[in-house]
Each structure stands twice: as structure tokens, then as C-alpha cells.
Amino acid sequence: MSTPARTTLITTPTFARHSPDPWTLLADGGAGPLRPYDDRALPYGELLARIAGADALVAGMDPVTAEVMDAAPRLKVIAKHGVGTDTIDVAAARDRGIPVVFAPGSNSRAVAEYTFGLVLDAARRISASHTAVTEGGWPKLFGPELHGRTLGVVGFGRIGRLVAGYARAFGMSVLAHDPYVPDDAVTGADAEPAGLDALLARADVVTLHLPPAGEPLLDAARLEAMKPGAILVNAARGGLVDDTALAAALHSGHLAAAALDAFAVEPLPAGHVLRTAPRLTLTSHMAACTPEANRAMGLMVAEDVLRVLDGEAPRHAAG
């Protein structure tokens, strides 16, 4: 008896962009991958319409809601083409008996390297100089050396620890805050454990590596409590920082600079308060965009999709 046809709906345009291997794996496994129809995420209405015949879904930043799941009577597995499942209603999937899989660690080095690039950019005003030169200027922009400064890492998982290592290579000391990581693990990684408020008061550069938590972690009060002249970097998730308060802290000069790669609403809307804030580097949620991470991420989720469709337990289940 032949195996029934199985279909995997791919809604993220970055799936297997830099390697055919994830596509080949799904096809060889009889999971019938459907490529995204263009170079952008699938609109929500079209997602609802197209998911009806899917046995598996591989999503990017798409909101995978209970409504989406109920529109897919054949759906057996949801895969996040990434490391964070905050865009997926994991509880609703659990209630419906649908496993959610993801790709933890697949882009850690890519994000960590990019994060430190943002640190350098914000400190030395590299992008600002580039913009000025392309507009006909020739400014000499000053910024602090990192050697001897203190980096505060909020969230000391895989990415945070890699960023801490890069900082130490630059001669920085490292403070780390993570309520889920024991102090001895922090000190074992050559960092000093610190409470969040103490870290914010002492760090010259603060970098965030946490999932979203509903309310902004850095609200107006916490931004005001940061060390005067500090730099803030967020290449984790939008919503961790109060955008309006951050813009105010930059306009007032309380913060020397900031660099952001993630936003509560993406793409960043026209007229958004951050678009006119000074000494701010904005990039398009691209920290994970390396060919190496793209291939690894695609293979991890494709392997777990096939495992679930074949009646096996996934290796990387969320929740």
C-alpha cells in the first residue's frame, strides 16, 4: 500500500533560502512541501485559506492562532522556523493534540555575532558615518572604546553567553542577569551575576536576550535607571523595550545610543516614534540571517516534521 500524500505548508520566505537540503528532506520524506509564493510572509487571510489541506505547517513570524488550527482539520504538527515560539498559541495547539516544534540553538552564533556588530555600530557610530558620507558629508564621529567597559547581558542562555565571550575578547567585564541560570553557572562562564536593577545601573552597554514577557521589561522607569550615557542593544524580541520611552531617553541624551533589530510591530510603521530618534541604529530583524543558520534551522524543523508525521516523538518540542 502506498503512503498517503502529505502536505507541508511553508509560510516563511526564508525557509531553505540558502540550501536545498531542507526542501529535499521534506520531499524525500513524502511531506510534499509547498514553497512560499513570494518573498514575504503569507498574509493571515491567505494562511487561513491555504492551511485547510496541510498536514504540517512551517511558520516564521506568522501568528499561528487557534483560528488557524481550527481551519486545518488535517494538521498534525506546527514547526517554528526559528528559536522562539511566541507567535504560536502553544497552549491551543496542546489542547488540540498538535505538537509544536522549533529549532533551538540553530541560529545562536549568527545572532550573537550580529549583536556584537550592533554594539560596535552603536558605540563607534559606523552606520551614522556611512549615512553622512553617502549624503556628501565627511564627519569625524567620536565614540567610546569598549576595552575596560562593562557589558550587561540580560538573558544568559546560548546567545547571551556567546555575546559575553566576544565582549571579554574586547577587554570588557561582563554582568549577567538571568533568574533561570544559577549563579555558579554565571561565574563559571566568567561573568558576574547581578540583579536586573543593579545591572542597569552599572553597565555601559546593555544587551537583551530574552523572550517577550507581555509588558516591556525596560519601561520608562528602568530606562531612566540605566547608567547615564549607556548604550542599549536589542536583537531578541520586540516588546522588551518601551519604544516611546526609549525615544525620549535618546532625545534627552540620557542614553548615548541604541541599536535594535526587533520590534513589536514589523515592518516598522511609517511615522513610528523610533524612526526620528537620534543615535539609533535600526535593522530589519535580520540577526539570524546567515546561510549556515538558515540551513541548520531548516533541517532541524524538517526532521521533526517528518518524525511527527511518521508517528515518532519530535526531538525539539516546545512547551
Active site residues: 237, 266, 285
Q: How far apart are CA 45 and CA 71, in angstroms?
A: 11
- Provide the 10 A C-beta neighbour count for residue 155: 23
> What Å distances lie between residue 265 and 170, 209, 261, 274, CA to CA?
33, 18, 12, 12
Distance separating alpha carbons of residues 4 and 203, to the nearest angstrom: 58
- Between CA 168 and CA 174 the distance in angstroms is 7
| Pairwise CA distance, residues 250 & 258, whole Å | 8
Element (H, E) at 68: helix 66-70
From residue 65, alpha-carbon distances to 8, 92, 164, 267, 312 in Å are 17, 8, 36, 20, 24
Closest of 55, 112, 123, 54 to residue 83, by C-alpha: 112
Contact indicator for 289, 261 with CB cutoff of 8 Å: no
Amino acid at 107: N
